[in-house]
Amino acid sequence: MATTKISSAKSTARAINYAEKRAVEKSGLNCDVDYAKSSFKATRELYGKTGGNEGHVVIQSFSPGEVDAKKCNELGLELAQKIAPKHQVSIYTHDDKDHIHNHIVINAVNLETGKKFNNNKKALHDIRRANDELCKAHGLSVVEGQKAAVRYTQAEKAVLEKGQSSWKDELRQAVDLSKSHTSDFESFQDDLGGFGH
């Protein structure tokens, strides 16, 4: 099973430096991976897009034992071809954790149009869908539904780990309790009206 996440990069050179140091495999799409930093920069300069985010980094992680480094990198390149076919992309495979994963660095600027890659919720959804299709095509497992019913922020996790209660958790519980015994919005609102007082 492969999971994906995306983040914006103010500096693609920094993202590449980090990814390249630990890479056991590497490849490039629309660029020579050994010259990715200078190629990315030249394209941004050509289109006058030197400000803002220079690119994006997709982390594609596989379950332990599901793929080897070579296969992981090939799957990273295939994912890049699906999600950013007109962009320069460098793919670096790491095996320094218990799971093999790719750092897929995407240059923000489209080679043909000069427009920037849009990193938003739709992009994340499209990346995850493309990744799932890729995994299915290669006989790998895919993530089924959400893993957790509740998603916690880092700050909330830290509070809970200290054994303290989180006001957000208390609010979630109050909402769930109110939903269970109210039938309309007004009674729901009245029931919650005392929360936090």
The answer to whether position 147 is within a domain reads no
pTM of the prediction? 0.73
User: In this structure, are 127 and 158 located in the same domain?
Assistant: no
100 in the same domain as 73: yes
Q: How many domains does the chain have?
A: 2
Q: Which of 108, 137, 166 is the last residue of a domain?
A: 137
- As given in the structure block, the two tokens for residue 168 are 């957000």
pLDDT at 148: 47
Give the pLDDT of the chain (197 residues) as one tens digit per residue.
688 888 889 999 999 999 999 999 999 999 999 999 999 999 999 999 998 899 999 999 998 889 999 999 999 999 999 999 999 999 999 998 778 999 999 999 999 999 998 887 888 889 999 999 999 999 988 876 544 456 667 777 777 677 676 777 677 777 777 776 777 888 777 877 765 55
Helices (H), 84-166: 121-137, 154-161
User: CA quadruple 85, 90, 93, 94: dihedral positive or negative?
Assistant: negative
Sheet containing strand 25-29, strands side by side: 2-9, 55-62, 101-107, 89-94, 25-29
Question: Do 161 and 97 share a structural domain?
Answer: no
Q: What is the CATH number of the domain that holds 93?
A: 3.30.930.30
pLDDT at 145: 59
What is the reported pLDDT for 179? 72
Q: CA 113 to CA 85: how far, in whole Å?
A: 12
Which tens digit of pLDDT belongs to each residue from 122-165?
888 899 999 999 999 999 888 765 444 566 677 777 776 776 76
| Residue 146 pLDDT | 46
Supply the range of the domain harboring residue 172: 154-192
**What is the Cα–Cα distance from 153 to 157, expressed in whole angstroms?**
6
% of the chain with per-residue pLDDT over 70 = 88
